[in-house]
Structure 1
Amino acid sequence: MSSSNALIIFTRNPELGKGKRRLAATVGDEAAFEIYKFLLHHTREITKTVNAQPQVWYSEKVHENDDWDNNRYKKFQQQGQDLGIRMQHAFETAFQSHDKVIIIGSDMHDLTTEDLNRAFELLDTKDAVIGPAIDGGYYLLGFKNKVPDNVFSNKVWGTETVLEETLKDLKTINYTMLEPRNDVDFYEDIKDVPAFQPFLKHIHA
Structure 2
Amino acid sequence: MPLAKPTLIIFGRLPVPGQCKTRLIPALGAQGAAQLYSRMLLRTLREAQAANLGDVILMLTPSPQAARLDASLAPLMAELDRELSHGLVHEPNTIRITLEAQPEGTLGERMQQAMARHLPNGPVMLMGSDLPALDSQRLREAADELALHDAVLQPSKDGGYGLIGLNQPCPDAFSLARWSHANVCLETLTQLTHAGRATYCLPVSWDVDEPEDLEQLALDFPALMKEHSSPFLIS
TM-score if structure 2 supplies the norm length? 0.77
Tell me the distance in 2 between the aligned counterparts of 1:118 and 1:158: 26
Aligned: 1:158 with 2:160: no
Judging changes above 3 Å, is the alpha-carbon distance between structure 1 residues 155 and 138 closer, same or farther for their aligned structure 2 residues? farther
**Cα offset for 1:122?**
0.8
Contact 1:134 / 1:180 at 8 angstroms: preserved in 2?
A: yes
* SS of structure 2 residue aligned to 1:8: strand
Cα shift readout 1:13-65 (whole Å, capped 9, x = no counterpart): 21111110111122211211111011012112101132221011001112572
* SS of structure 1 residue aligned to 2:172: coil
Q: For residue 203 of structure 1, what is the aligned residue in structure 2?
A: none
Q: For residue 95 of structure 1, what is the aligned residue in structure 2?
A: 119
* SS of structure 1 residue aligned to 2:124: strand
Name structure 1 gaps, 5 residues minimum.
201-205
Tell me the distance in 2 between the aligned counterparts of 1:42 and 1:177: 23
Contact 1:148 / 1:169 at 8 angstroms: preserved in 2?
A: no
Equivalent residue in structure 2 for 1:125, among 120, 140, 148: 148
Aligned: 1:198 with 2:226: yes
Q: Which amino acid aligns with 2:39?
A: F
Q: For residue 68 of structure 1, what is the aligned residue in structure 2?
A: 84
Contact 1:22 / 1:186 at 8 angstroms: preserved in 2?
A: yes
Q: Which amino acid aligns with 1:81?
A: G
Q: Which amino acid aligns with 1:136?
A: G
Q: For residue 59 of structure 2, what is the aligned residue in structure 1?
A: 57
Q: Which amino acid aligns with 1:137?
A: G
**Cα offset for 1:87?**
0.8
Between Structure 1 and Structure 2, the one with more helix by share is 2
* Percent identical residues: 28
Cα shift readout 1:85-143 (whole Å, capped 9, x = no counterpart): 1111110111122x211011100111211111111111111000000000010011001
Equivalent residue in structure 2 for 1:78, among 102, 105, 114: 102
Q: For residue 111 of structure 1, what is the aligned residue in structure 2?
A: 134
Could you list the runs of 4 or more consecutive aligned residues of structure 1 that deviate by over 6 angstroms after TM superposition?
Answer: none
Name structure 2 gaps, 5 residues minimum.
65-76, 87-94, 229-235
Cα shift readout 1:145-203 (whole Å, capped 9, x = no counterpart): x1224111134222222112101101132111000011000111122423154249xxx
